[in-house]
């Protein structure tokens, strides 16, 4: 997992928080930190796929939008090639735009229903000057569609409702391929398409990494998908990264209570290995957290100690490259963070 100060990082998230005001009765202002002091970095070489695991309410989509430059962070910085995204000059901004691209969750919602599907490709080709003539553009489109296993004649000229979810999502991949970005930020890219088709999509992302050196941030709630992609993983809970490391480490030695709970709660596709014990989770509302005052999981944690309600736990190093933000490990070394 990349150390945030790594110089080969293309896109770096440094201590980013996104705070929203929550309307409350009375005059007190409550706020919620949808993203709460998150740091991570995506490297260029070698290309890697980083999984960000979080459930709804964890802040993952907000983080994705911040990383894409669609919304500014309230605190902290997003650095593209070392420069703050808000400080980029025009050329640098275009470079950022081109090299950090998204894949969104809803395969149909991503297309303006008024237009045909390939308009998404046309728009990209035009704005980034990828072709100098209509013919060249058509050739480029067809090539990128074929590269993701779609037949151009099945797609070009069609409207979104005429294609399946899997096809729509793959057109998105084709679009991404046109630009060959350094980073793809994929926010739940497979959760709305059929299981049988998910593999094709995931394999394409893996191909992108191996063949085109494209790194991806794979945001998902499904640990099994993250496992399939392999590589570094971060676990996001209520806006905070509670555990991070290589996925093998996390599966082998899940250290934070939330990670442990997640692993236990996921149904396993093996009828001979069913859940054995009853879940004992207290279902609570998302806590309104104020940065820095307590551990975000304290209300649900089976190991809660007094200190957990007093301070926010720092990252402790469980083993090389594997960190957990939990006071259970306070005798281990703290992760060195750069400010």
Partner 1 sequence: MLSFLGSCWRTSGKFKLGIAILALFVLTALIAPLIYRPIIGDANPARPGAFARWVPAGPGHPLGTDGHGRDLLTDYIAGLRTTLFIGFLAGIIASSVGILVGFLSAYKGGWTDSVLLTITNMLIVIPSYPILVAIAMVTPELGVASMSVILALFSWPYSARTIRAQVMTMKERPYVELAKVSGQSEWAIIFTEILPNLMPYLLMGFAFSVVGAMVAEVGIEAIGLGPSNIITLGLMINFANGWGVYSMGRLEILLIPVGVLVLIFMAITMINRGMEEYLNPRLQKVTTEK
Partner 2 sequence: MNVQAMAQTKRQGTGDAQTLMEIKDLRIWYRTTRGNAQAVDGVDLTFKRNEVFGLAGESGCGKTTLARGILGMTKLPGFVESGEAIYYRSVSDSSSVGRDLLTMPAREMRQYRWRDIAYIPQGAMNVLSPVTRIEKQILDAIYEHSEMSKEEARARMFECLEMVGLETTVARMYPHELSGGMKQRVTIAAAISLRPGLIIADEPTTALDVNVQQVILQELKEITGQLGLTLIYVTHDMAVHAEMADRMGIMYSGQIVEVAPVIETFKEPLHPYTQGLISSIPVIGGDRSRMVGIPGNAPSPLDWPSGCRFHPRCPKVMDICREKQPPMLEVAPERFVACHLYPTPLSGAAPASEELEK
Contact set with partner 1 (CB under 8 A): 65, 68, 70, 94, 97, 101-102, 104-106, 109-115, 120, 123-124, 127-128
Q: Kindly state whether residue 196 participates in binding partner 2, applying the rule CB under 8 A.
A: yes
Q: Least CB distance from residue 105 to partner 1, whole Å? A: 8
Residues 13/38, Cβ–Cβ less than 8 Å: yes
List the one residue out of 86, 19, 97 whose CA is nearest residue 59.
Answer: 19
Residues 17/36, Cβ–Cβ less than 8 Å: yes
Selection from partner 1, partner 2, none that 200 binds (CB < 5 to 8 A by kind) is partner 2
Selection from partner 1, partner 2, none that 104 binds (CB < 5 to 8 A by kind) is partner 1
Q: Least CB distance from residue 124 to partner 2, whole Å? A: 24
Selection from partner 2, partner 1, none that 339 binds (CB < 5 to 8 A by kind) is none
* Dist CA 312 CA 181 (whole Å): 36
Q: Kindly state whether residue 90 participates in binding partner 2, applying the rule CB under 8 A.
A: no
Chosen residue from 132, 271, 306, 320 binding partner 2 by CB under 8 A: 271
Selection from partner 1, partner 2, none that 28 binds (CB < 5 to 8 A by kind) is none
Q: Kindly state whether residue 88 participates in binding partner 2, applying the rule CB under 8 A.
A: no
For the chain, the farthest-separated pair of C-alpha atoms sits apart, in whole angstroms, at: 68
SS3 275: coil
Phi-psi region of 191 (alpha: psi -120 to 50; beta: other; left: phi over 0): alpha
Q: How many other CB atoms sit within 10 Å of the CB of residue 89?
A: 9
Chosen residue from 264, 290, 335, 337 binding partner 2 by CB under 8 A: 264
Q: Least CB distance from residue 328 to partner 2, whole Å? A: 20
- 3-class SS letters over 100-162: EEEECCCCCCCCCCCCCCCHHHHHHHHHCCCCCCHHHHHHHHHHHHHHCCCCHHHHCCCCHHH
Selection from partner 1, partner 2, none that 277 binds (CB < 5 to 8 A by kind) is partner 2
Binding site for partner 2 (CB under 8 A): 55-57, 164-167, 194-200, 203, 206, 221, 223-225, 227-228, 230, 251, 261-272, 274-279, 281, 283, 285
């Amino acid at each position: 997992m990349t150390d945030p100060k790594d110089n080969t990082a293309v896109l770096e998230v440094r201590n980013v928080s996104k705070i929203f005001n929550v309307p409350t009765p009375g005059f007190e202002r409550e706020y919620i930190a949808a993203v709460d002091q998150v740091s991570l970095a995506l490297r260029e070489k070698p290309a890697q796929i980083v999984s960000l695991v979080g459930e709804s309410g964890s802040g993952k989509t907000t983080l994705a939008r911040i990383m894409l430059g669609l919304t500014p962070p309230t605190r902290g910085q997003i650095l593209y090639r070392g420069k703050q995204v808000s400080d980029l000059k025009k050329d640098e901004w275009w470079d950022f735009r081109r090299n950090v691209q998204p894949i969104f969750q809803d395969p149909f919602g991503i297309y303006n229903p008024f237009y045909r599907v390939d308009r998404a490709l046309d728009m990209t080709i035009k704005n980034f000057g990828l072709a100098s003539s209509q013919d060249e553009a058509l050739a480029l489109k067809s090539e990128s569609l074929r590269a993701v296993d779609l037949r151009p004649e099945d797609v070009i000229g069609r409207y979104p409702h005429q294609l399946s979810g899997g096809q729509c999502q793959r057109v998105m991949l084709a679009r991404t391929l046109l630009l060959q970005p350094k980073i793809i930020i994929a926010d739940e890219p497979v959760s709305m398409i059929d299981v049988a088709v998910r593999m094709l999509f995931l394999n394409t992302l893996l191909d992108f990494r191996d063949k085109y050196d494209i790194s991806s941030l794979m945001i998902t709630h499904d640990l099994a998908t993250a496992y399939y992609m392999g590589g570094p993983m971060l676990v996001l809970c209520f806006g905070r990264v509670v555990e991070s490391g290589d996925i093998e480490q996390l599966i082998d030695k899940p250290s934070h209570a939330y990670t442990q709970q997640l692993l236990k709660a996921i149904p396993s596709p093996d009828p001979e290995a069913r859940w054995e014990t009853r879940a004992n989770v207290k279902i609570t509302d998302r806590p309104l957290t104020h940065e820095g005052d307590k551990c975000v999981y304290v209300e649900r944690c089976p190991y809660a100690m007094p200190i957990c309600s007093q301070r926010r736990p720092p990252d402790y190093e469980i083993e090389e490259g594997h960190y957990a933000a939990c006071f259970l490990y306070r005798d281990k070394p703290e992760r060195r963070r750069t400010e």
